[in-house]
Structure 1
Amino acid sequence: MTELPTFGAGIWHFATYKDRYATDGYGPEVGLLEQIDRAGAVGDLSVVDLNYPFVGFDGTLDDVRAALERNGLRAIAITPEIYTRDFVKGSLTHPDPAVRKQALDLLHEATGVAKELGCDYVKLWPGQDGWDYPFQVDYHDAWQLALDGLTELVSAHPEIKFVIEYKPREPRIKIIFPSVARTLLGIEKIGLPNLGILLDFGHSLYGQETPADAAQLAIDYGRLFAIDVNDNLRGWDDDMVVGSVHLIETFEFFHTLRKNNWQGVWQLDQFPFREDSVQAARQAITFLKGVHRALDVLDVEALAAAQARHDALAAQRIVQRALLPNLLDD
């Protein structure tokens, strides 16, 4: 078997969740250090993505660093919270210049924390940047504000990478970076080498993309810096355990990464509302290890030949033989 990839998770995987019905949460509050301890209890995680600011945490960065070290973890990324109440009309695209400055100040501060923790990248999820109604915004102006804000941020920190996590909607009905294509368009327009894409598998599904195709496009432009994996029913961003619904498309996604020799972290972005968070992570990683083994035995030459003929049935049978050998009778 080839060497296993590095596995990671967003630290929110181990938090407590609320929604508009269970407003008191689906369990007791879990503090940041306990979240890190739970991540460490999984056993196969090497890195975590941390939200910033550390809401409800009154300790120091040294306390966070110590918690990571005692659990054998490293912070791979910082995700600044530019999608909270202060930014309900947007962060980089907010109509008020003072709020845009507030957002950029937070982003610069978060980048400083990422550098102190030795992170690989800062993740930008501009969930409040967009619109809800026709005629609500001037589309040209909103797009230009997004590009100008990103240029100011990313150019100021050439020594660290930044990634845009695109998503079609939620919380805004239309998010300004909704797809791999539009996100690439913005990145190429900005033209900075340290700005790329984090491709969230579930967001790609939800946006009616083929995730493997989206990954290939981002790779072809040299912009696939990171991935998050999960699953959903394609009607919403459910953040279910990876592989629980779209088995074949998940396998195709990872086949595309291997075919292109993409070497990044296989990172979980799951929201186990009602499930044990440690067990959900363990089960996901067990599945991902199975995907890795199946990639090792996949007949890539036969698959390439079938694809060259556009032979869907032959390609499916080759994939089933690698991924689901007990399904076949020969």
Structure 2
Amino acid sequence: MVKDELRRQHIELPSWAFGNSGTRFKVFAQRGVPRDPYEKVADAAQVHRYTGVAPTVALHIPWDRVADYGDLAGHARELGVGIGAINSNVFQDDDYKLGSVTNPDPGVRRKATDHLLECVDIMDQTGSDTLKLWFSDGTNYPGQDDIRARQDRLAESLAEVYERLGEGQRFLLEYKLFEPAFYMTDLPDWGTAYAHCVKLGPRAQVVVDTGHHAPGTNIEFIVAFLLREGKLGGFDFNSRFYADDDLMVGAADPFQLFRIMFEVVRGGGYTEDVAFMLDQCHNIEPKIAGQIRSVMNVQEATAKALLVDRDALAIAQREGDVLGANAVFMDAYNTDVRPLLAELREEMGLAPDPMAAYAGSGYFDKVVEERVGGSQAGWGA
């Protein structure tokens, strides 16, 4: 049964993970980095080729803007993958210095909302069913703007986008504790996002970015609550040591990832209705290999979550057996699931070790040789 559940896992890749990235001090260039969205999709297809569970790649607009989105979608299909969520960008334009959809200037708000509507148009052209919204909007100083008015402006824009969604489409609303706004962020937490989504209706759901919380936040509680309310739309998986570090998922706290995946399984969220997306930047490690490792980390955490003896756990919980319940939980977490996953991959016609298979494929050397000239993709391109 565990193998059957793992076989149908779907982990979405971010196109931006294959471009150059870095910190606010320096963006680091690497050899063989894609120069356009077509090459990003080709690299994403390599991750799916060796893991078997990463069949879609999310786009970021305007970073992934092309003349013909239908052609890009066809290119993806030819490579054995598809286009996933469309991510909007209303944070990299000078006009958005004081906010996008919450900006006091109605002209800027109109520009930002029009971009969100453009992203829905791109969904129509690519066959995507998910729009992901994140806003850097907020203020840096007390009194800088009217906090309540900004919430009104946000609600107005979200309502317009919601009404534009087509049949079978939804949007996921992302939140972030801080950065780049430091005094007050307009969408700082899951409760604010949840409140807006409840008011809008069933096609508006919350996305949980695992790096967007205050230290010590119990993310698995948030997951359990949103699942209970039918409002968990997906994840942006990454790892953090301090803030929004965007490190490889499971790198900082693999036990937390296991706890999150247990709540997903227990709450009925291990379905196609909850999007499991990566949102990471590979600043110093190779891009494709970093994505493969990230997918494997999610697979391992999921396998352990599926191995929890929920009957034994329920009995211990009912009897108030604190140590017994914890032991059931820890037994699953401490299980080495790597042999199980290697066996599963072989049954799926894949190499048991995706990292080794990719390293021996020669793909990296091939693209380094071919991708000469032009500008490498990166933040903002």
The partner residue of 1:110 within 119, 128, 139 is 119
CA-CA distance at 1:20 after TM superposition:
2.9
The aligned counterpart of 2:157 is 149
Deviations 1:300-322 (A, max 9, x none): 12223444466554333222211
The aligned counterpart of 1:294 is 304
3-state DSSP of counterpart to 1:314:
helix
CA-CA distance at 1:276 after TM superposition:
0.8
With over 3 angstroms needed to count, the CA separation of the structure-2 counterparts of 1:73 and 1:217, relative to structure 1, is same
Matched, 1:26 2:29: yes
For 1:132-171, list aligned pairs within 5 A.
132-159=140-167, 160-171=169-180
Give the structure-2-normalised TM-score.
0.79
Matched, 1:280 2:285: no
With over 3 angstroms needed to count, the CA separation of the structure-2 counterparts of 1:291 and 1:2, relative to structure 1, is farther
Structure 1 residues without counterparts, runs of 5 or longer = none
- Quote the sequence identity (%): 24
3-state DSSP of counterpart to 1:240:
coil
The partner residue of 1:14 within 15, 18, 30 is 18
3-state DSSP of counterpart to 2:332:
helix
- What is the letter of the counterpart of residue 9 of structure 1? L
CA-CA distance at 1:272 after TM superposition:
1.1
Cα distance between partner residues in 2 of 1:162 and 1:298: 32
Deviations 1:74-97 (A, max 9, x none): 112111111112312111101110
With over 3 angstroms needed to count, the CA separation of the structure-2 counterparts of 1:187 and 1:62, relative to structure 1, is closer
The aligned counterpart of 1:242 is 249
Deviations 1:34-72 (A, max 9, x none): 2111111112311111001245x6543244223312221
3-state DSSP of counterpart to 1:203:
coil
Cα distance between partner residues in 2 of 1:60 and 1:103: 22
Q: How many residue pairs are counted as aligned between the two chains?
A: 320
3-state DSSP of counterpart to 1:196:
strand
Matched, 1:61 2:69: yes
Structure 2 residues without counterparts, runs of 5 or longer = 337-381
- What is the letter of the counterpart of residue 149 of structure 2? D
With over 3 angstroms needed to count, the CA separation of the structure-2 counterparts of 1:158 and 1:34, relative to structure 1, is closer
3-state DSSP of counterpart to 2:5:
coil
- What is the letter of the counterpart of residue 104 of structure 2? P
CA-CA distance at 1:283 after TM superposition:
1.2
Deviations 1:182-204 (A, max 9, x none): 2112222x332211111112224
- What is the letter of the counterpart of residue 64 of structure 1? L
Cα distance between partner residues in 1 of 2:138 and 2:320: 39
- What is the letter of the counterpart of residue 116 of structure 2? L
Is residue 198–residue 225 contact of structure 1 (8 Å, CA) maintained in 2?
yes
The aligned counterpart of 2:60 is 51
With over 3 angstroms needed to count, the CA separation of the structure-2 counterparts of 1:213 and 1:310, relative to structure 1, is farther
Cα distance between partner residues in 2 of 1:295 and 1:84: 38
Is residue 53–residue 110 contact of structure 1 (8 Å, CA) maintained in 2?
no
- What is the letter of the counterpart of residue 218 of structure 2? T
Cα distance between partner residues in 2 of 1:183 and 1:309: 37
Cα distance between partner residues in 1 of 2:335 and 2:15: 35
Cα distance between partner residues in 1 of 2:231 and 2:331: 32
Cα distance between partner residues in 2 of 1:304 and 1:246: 26
Is residue 235–residue 275 contact of structure 2 (8 Å, CA) maintained in 1?
yes
- What is the letter of the counterpart of residue 145 of structure 2? V
Cα distance between partner residues in 1 of 2:138 and 2:127: 31
Deviations 1:171-192 (A, max 9, x none): 222321111112112222x332
3-state DSSP of counterpart to 1:292:
helix
